[in-house]
Structure 1
Amino acid sequence: MRRFPFKSLRALWWAPLACYGLAMLLNQTDLVRQFEWRTLDWRTRYRVPFQPPPDPRLHLVLFDDDTEANLVSWPPPRQWHGQLIELVSVAEAKVLAMDVFITSERDPESDQAMAAGVQAARERGMAVISGAVRSDFPTEATESTRLGPTQPIRQVVGDTSRFVSAQFAALPIPVLREVSHFGFVDVPKFGEERVVSASGIPRTPPMLVRIGDAVYPSLSLATVMHYFDVPADRVRVTVGEAIYVPTKDRELRIPIDERGCLFLNYRYEALDAESVFPALSYRGLLLGLMAKYVDPQIEAPAPPDLKGAIVMVGLFETGNADAGPSPRAEYTPLPLVHLNAINNILTGDYAHKVPENQIWGLAVLLGYLGLLVLADRSVLVLMGGAVLGAVAYVALALWAWVYASWWFDLIAPLVGFGGLQFVVIGRRIIEEQRSKQEIKGMFGTYVSPELVERMVQSGAKPQLGGHTEEITAYFSDIQGYSGFSEAMPPARLVELLNEYLTVCTDILQEEGGTLDKYIGDAVVAMFGAPVPVKDHALRACVTALRVHHALDELRQRWAAQGEAWPLSVRQMRTRIGLNTGLAVVGNMGSRTRFNYTMTSDDVNLAARMESGAKKWGAYTLCTEATKAACQAHGGDRVIFRPLGRIVVKGRAQAVPIHELVGLKEQVAAQTLDCLGLFGQGLDKYHGRDWVGAAELFRRSAELEPNQPSRSPGVTSNPSLVFQQIVADYRLNPPPPEWNGVYVMHEK
């Protein structure tokens, strides 16, 4: 038994490598990768109720439909921006980031007013970060060397060739560039750089952008740098590893890939019912701040506490929105990409992708472990293990993302796992089919197809050995076979036996019996094994009566063929013996060749019933045990005739015996009258009333269904037999201690 798992491992050593190898290749396709992103979005939405609130320092201000309808149309005169920025600085915010492009000059007076508001905010200690964007064409800003206070990040180690890049950039207008910092706000489209999915969802926004040979921070990174008052010359970058931002308390480590991008751990929305960033209307915040700090007569809701806050301003109005899909929503303000990135950095809440080599290595290892432990189990166990394994991995991937922000690839590993289970279960099904064919090959000629199927479903393989089971043993033998077999040519004898045994076996199997063996003309069978049935005695009795009825039809057919068959064949009858009891049943024989058979003293008693039937002038004889078991399940369906008690050769205990007369619906009224008279005669017999018994047996003999003078092949019947026994006892009475038991001296 211990070698079986290793046998399976030798047979399927290639399966984990092949299945997971193909899954790895499949995982490189765009279709699977996009589906994988979708599964991550489902996990992101699932974790919403379990995640903490966003960093309270972060606020989102949106130029929305309310502002458009009740304050000013987009684009507003830029002094509105300047006024809002200055009032936010009065509220003591730390940083205000503008996710809005102000890259072209419009109205000098308005532009100057905005710059004045920014300068005032700067003097109050609030940093203002304006948005910049890459450009495919030269711009005024590109040609100018006046970058204002913004400086590129110079401490960069590694290859920046894969950074999101352009030769030129559209920067904030000069008056704004002189008094504010800028950061790059654009997230490239799919195909240009793989930082968003094909569905347009930003996944890995750039933290660094290369313009020409210089590296600049994104809006998110610039916001964090100025929140902690860290100048560009102190920021260090190791490409493919991290951005290091040294603050007064600690050094922030922002993980990036070789493209300078952050794997965004997108958690919070702005317009959902739960787990959102505080979202403020541009109009509402402006009026609230004016009411608080400028004109108390203005009626407006009180503004939130912005002390030490990071405020991001964006656009989200119908028909003119900076919006798109996100992992949590189909349409959402895109400034949330920057705001979620800032939240990741401030809280250290980074998403991590589990390295593929670790996933596939563990998958292959577990695949081989599964082969060792489960490969030889049943199909049901294998399927249960497959379902359990898949559910366990899905649960692990879900738990890891919800509670630790670790991303386990889901689709390709499950495809590989499913392929492996297909191979293992498929192999097991083939093996079980072979085993079923073995069972069918072994038992198909002995039992009915229905019983074979029940044995197959049990899953037990044929093996040497047996077990104790209550059965009804069945023995039959042709009356006078030796006589006519000698007179017939072998070929005709075989033809006769085949026809007779086919009829007997078909009936046997139809009633759920199991053929044990043929011994010449004899049929040995059992009921109740290998598949246990409660009514095995009833089945055996019905089989015996059906065989006699079928033999009647065979005799008529042979008689109709005239001299084609000898008279002994045309009058052929069979005797059957039945007994119910415990027997050892199973495959018995040598280890290379064995048969499914039965053995026990109760089986031998059934054989004695068959041989003893001739003594009693009966054609089916059974024990009291069979009669009682038959009536327990069939009631009075089978008619029995008690024949007293006998002691068979080889046994010391007396056994009550009975003749099977027929099925209730087939027994004639005359036969029932015969049985009544016979029963009365048997009572007289046991009471030593030999004269009374003889008269009753004489009268019952006239009504016997089997008459030597009229029934083909019949030489006696129970009434005639008991007439002879009574006559013998009249001449030689039994001893005083006689209790009606008849001792058989022949087998």
Structure 2
Amino acid sequence: MNKKTKMPEWVVVIGVSVLSVLAALFLSNTTSFQTLELKSLDMRFGLRGPLEIEDNPIVIIKIDDQSDESTPHRWPWPRSYFAHVLRNLNEAGVKAIGVDVIFDQPDKYGAEKDDELRDVLNTYDNIVLAGKISRTFEQGYSKSTVIPPYEKFITPRSHWGLVSLESDLDGFYRRYIVSDVHRDSLYSSFAAMIYKIYTDQEDALLTSDEKSFHIGTLTIPKYDYSSMLVNFIGPAYSFPNYSFDNILDTEDFDLLDDYDLDVFDDPGDPEFGISPGLKYSGILKDKIVLIGSTMQELHDNFPTPFLDAGGNDSIMAKVEMPGVEIHANALLTMLQNRFLRRVPDALTIGNILLALLLTFLATRFLPTLWSAAAVFAGFVVFVVSAIYLFSGFNLIIEMVFPTVVVGFAYMGHILYHYLQTQQEKRMLRGAFAQYVPEKVVQDIVANPEKLQLGGVERVVSVMFSDVAGFTSISEKLSPAELVILLNEYLTAMTNIVMEHNGIIDKYEGDAIMAEFGVPVPFEDHPQVACRVALRMQEKLVEMRKQWKKEGRPQLEARIGINTGEMIVGNMGSQTVFDYTVMGDHVNLASRLEGANKQYGTFIMISEFTNAYVKNDFYTRPLDLIRVKGKEQPIEVFELIAERGQTLDSTHLEMLSVYQRGIEAYRKRSWNEAIEFFEYCLSLRENDMPSKLYRKRCLEFKLNDPGPDWDGVFTMTTK
């Protein structure tokens, strides 16, 4: 039978792995794939939860609805409001101030309002204003324009930085532009400028290389060419914050009547339990204050990772984050050097390779459900590890790409094993269908684990049969007649074998080799083999009657059966093999078939088979024989009939007397043995074993075999 060469497993592993990586790379360019990776980052934020920040240096002043309602003017307010607040903050000891409002045009309330703000900017050098780089697309080209603060506010002591925020493709804000380029000029971000002021590095240059930004001694890992990832400390309003009007509300500034309480510069009265206002409380001393809008109508609120993030049930997680707070998060990330960094690519690749190997091992050695459970457990470990690296070490490992690679690999291996199993089932069906019963083939195909290929030791019963005098018969027939006769005989014998779950190992001319108990084991194979041998002889009796009528040769077959431990499996090359049995017990069965000729019998079984079947079948001892090439003698028996079948009383009496004759023979009681065997012949005159033993006893009576005689007959031919 033919066998397709099995693909080496290392080829399968590499092939599935490469295809899985290529498929994942292809998908990685899709929006859905990239969005999923971004959402996995949000999940890590949510599961990590808000950070507890000790001595948070950043305070936010909100341009909110309360302030808009309490001031004499509605938004946009006169610049004098900002001048007043900036002066108040500096008087409260604030170290650095950022104003997240772009003042790029003259104040609509008059030039004197701009002058007031300019005077404050000339007085203090710790204030950072907002600017941006505007980009538009016209006729397929990108056009950029720098929008700095209004020219009056560009003073020797003032600073400004870019407040532009850029969303990811899903509309969420996770990155922060650290610097941007316009016409070969590098512009610093709002947070970077404030960082330099707060850390007393006003003169430090912001530089950039392939992997990082640099501000003095600070190194900021790049997310892309212009941005970093923001390590958000929590959802919206996680920073200390006050309304703009709380800072504006001093003795020299009049809010609307209901709000004008002069709370900012209230000295307080400890005697009456009145706490001082922000100016004297020390709350703002040495702090960074960021001023920005939180009003919804100004559209300066954005979705960030904590918005609806899993694991965070804070009510603020349902609120978009003001842009000023995104700046605050970016600035705090810089100040605390708590940057989010990607793990090295080598580690990611190593993890993927390890996962691919473990996936292969799981699918190779575990049942499908267990392999799925193992792969899922590996996924859980991977997710937990990713969360741990993020929460404990601010490290980001890609989650979606490795997961997709492993998912494809798992499906690839499962598909490969399925196709391989189907191929093996087809191979098994094709290999066994010609000489194995259909129900056995179905069992093999459904449960291939029962079929241990490649050579295993198993107790099996093997049968050899051969047509007596076939050579002389073949000389009397034409080739066509011989083939027809032989096919009739082989078909009938084969059907009997297969009806009893035996398998045809091979045909050699008129000879048949069959096994019982393989490839699917069953316990009573010795009994089945004997039953088949008897049924074959019965069938031949029927066939000889028909052949006699037709004037054709009447075939007789001799059968040998042995049971023992044999090597079972596929024997041969990688491309051509036979499912067969090998070993001394196989050779013995073949010898027994030929030994029938010596005793005039048609079914001979070994002592090993007889030990299994003696309670189920009528057998009688034939001899102790020593086969050619072996020193240890074995006892052989003639298989007569299955118990339960009716044997006439004469036959039963003959068997009993025959047994006594064998016992006398082995005791060297020649005269007694001769009497027993002659009596057997009086009951069944053509009993060939009785004739043989009577002849031996007569010879030994005349010529004593000597003291070394052990009753063993040595076969000199195979």
TM-score under structure 1 length normalisation = 0.64
Judged with a 3 Å threshold, the aligned counterparts in structure 2 of structure 1 residues 10 and 217 are, in CA distance, closer, same or farther, namely closer
Output the amino acid matched with 2:326.
V
Judged with a 3 Å threshold, the aligned counterparts in structure 2 of structure 1 residues 653 and 164 are, in CA distance, closer, same or farther, namely same
Q: Which moved more, 1:220-229 or 1:721-730?
A: 721-730
1:264 aligned partner: 230
1:566 aligned partner: 551
Deviations 1:241-294 (A, max 9, x none): 766555xxxx434456777433223343468xxxxx4656869x999x989952
Judged with a 3 Å threshold, the aligned counterparts in structure 2 of structure 1 residues 370 and 433 are, in CA distance, closer, same or farther, namely farther
2:55 aligned partner: 56
CA distance in 2, matches of 1:745, 1:245: 101
Output the amino acid matched with 1:27.
S
Q: How many Å apart are 1:183 and its aligned residue?
A: 6.3
Judged with a 3 Å threshold, the aligned counterparts in structure 2 of structure 1 residues 677 and 319 are, in CA distance, closer, same or farther, namely farther
Residue number among 640, 649, 656 corresponding to 1:679 in the alignment: 656
Judged with a 3 Å threshold, the aligned counterparts in structure 2 of structure 1 residues 586 and 152 are, in CA distance, closer, same or farther, namely same
Identity %: 21
Deviations 1:623-680 (A, max 9, x none): 111222x35xxx94x314132533356466543222334445xx32446995476235
Count of residues in Structure 1 that have an aligned counterpart in Structure 2: 650
2:76 aligned partner: 104
- Contact persistence 1:577–1:609 (CA under 8 A): yes
Judged with a 3 Å threshold, the aligned counterparts in structure 2 of structure 1 residues 182 and 124 are, in CA distance, closer, same or farther, namely farther
Q: How many Å apart are 1:415 and its aligned residue?
A: 4.9
CA distance in 2, matches of 1:341, 1:219: 10
Q: How many Å apart are 1:27 and its aligned residue?
A: 3.1
Residue number among 71, 75, 86 corresponding to 2:68 in the alignment: 75
CA distance in 2, matches of 1:131, 1:583: 89
Q: How many Å apart are 1:341 and its aligned residue?
A: 1.0
CA distance in 1, matches of 2:572, 2:163: 86
1:119 aligned partner: 87
Q: Secondary structure at the match of 2:68?
A: coil
Q: In the alignment, is residue 545 of structure 1 matched against residue 531 of structure 2? A: yes
CA distance in 2, matches of 1:37, 1:473: 67
Map 1:612-691 → 2, pairs under 5 A? 612-616=595-599, 618-628=601-611, 630=612, 636=615, 638-648=616-626, 650=628, 654-664=633-643, 667-670=644-647, 674-675=651-652, 678-679=655-656, 681-683=658-660, 685-687=662-664, 689-690=672-673
Q: In the alignment, is residue 202 of structure 1 matched against residue 173 of structure 2? A: yes
Q: Secondary structure at the match of 1:659?
A: strand
- Contact persistence 1:644–1:740 (CA under 8 A): no
Judged with a 3 Å threshold, the aligned counterparts in structure 2 of structure 1 residues 493 and 399 are, in CA distance, closer, same or farther, namely farther
1:191 aligned partner: none
Map 1:220-619 → 2, pairs under 5 A? 220-229=191-200, 231=202, 235-238=205-208, 245=215, 251-254=217-220, 260-269=226-235, 277=238, 294-295=268-269, 297=272, 308-310=286-288, 323-330=301-308, 331-335=318-322, 336-353=325-342, 380=364, 401-412=390-401, 415=404, 449=441, 471-482=460-471, 484-508=473-497, 513=502, 515-527=504-516, 533=521, 535=523, 538-549=524-535, 552-553=538-539, 556=542, 559=545, 563=549, 565-566=550-551, 568-569=553-554, 572-581=555-564, 601-616=584-599, 618-619=601-602
CA distance in 2, matches of 1:278, 1:723: 115
Gaps of 5+ in 1: 80-100, 188-194, 272-276, 702-707, 709-715
2:35 aligned partner: 34
Q: How many Å apart are 1:220 and its aligned residue?
A: 3.2
- Contact persistence 2:564–2:585 (CA under 8 A): yes
- Contact persistence 1:242–1:256 (CA under 8 A): yes
Deviations 1:74-110 (A, max 9, x none): 634149xxxxxxxxxxxxxxxxxxxxx996127x9xx
Q: Secondary structure at the match of 1:56?
A: coil
Q: How many Å apart are 1:346 and its aligned residue?
A: 0.7
Judged with a 3 Å threshold, the aligned counterparts in structure 2 of structure 1 residues 480 and 22 are, in CA distance, closer, same or farther, namely closer
CA distance in 1, matches of 2:58, 2:362: 59
Q: Secondary structure at the match of 1:36?
A: helix
Judged with a 3 Å threshold, the aligned counterparts in structure 2 of structure 1 residues 242 and 165 are, in CA distance, closer, same or farther, namely farther
CA distance in 1, matches of 2:156, 2:582: 108
Q: Which moved more, 1:236-245 or 1:608-617?
A: 236-245
Output the amino acid matched with 2:68.
P
Q: Secondary structure at the match of 1:491?
A: helix
Deviations 1:133-172 (A, max 9, x none): 488x987599998663289999xxxx99899976657989
Q: How many Å apart are 1:546 and its aligned residue?
A: 2.3
CA distance in 2, matches of 1:166, 1:262: 23
Residue number among 105, 109, 129 corresponding to 2:98 in the alignment: 129
- Contact persistence 1:643–1:658 (CA under 8 A): yes
CA distance in 1, matches of 2:157, 2:683: 132
Q: How many Å apart are 1:745 and its aligned residue?
A: 6.5
- Contact persistence 1:167–1:212 (CA under 8 A): no
Q: How many Å apart are 1:119 and its aligned residue?
A: 1.9
- Contact persistence 1:468–1:583 (CA under 8 A): yes
Q: Secondary structure at the match of 2:175?
A: coil
1:92 aligned partner: none
CA distance in 2, matches of 1:558, 1:42: 85
Deviations 1:371-393 (A, max 9, x none): 9x999999727998996998698
Q: How many Å apart are 1:577 and its aligned residue?
A: 0.8
Q: How many Å apart are 1:585 and its aligned residue?
A: 6.7
Q: How many Å apart are 1:580 and its aligned residue?
A: 3.0
Q: How many Å apart are 1:522 and its aligned residue?
A: 1.3
Output the amino acid matched with 1:489.
S
- Contact persistence 2:40–2:399 (CA under 8 A): yes
Q: Secondary structure at the match of 1:262?
A: strand
Q: Secondary structure at the match of 1:613?
A: helix
Output the amino acid matched with 2:656.
G
Gaps of 5+ in 2: 137-141, 248-260, 309-317
- Contact persistence 2:681–2:691 (CA under 8 A): yes
Q: Which moved more, 1:342-351 or 1:298-307?
A: 298-307
Output the amino acid matched with 1:542.
V
Output the amino acid matched with 1:206.
I
- Contact persistence 2:456–2:568 (CA under 8 A): yes
2:252 aligned partner: none
1:93 aligned partner: none
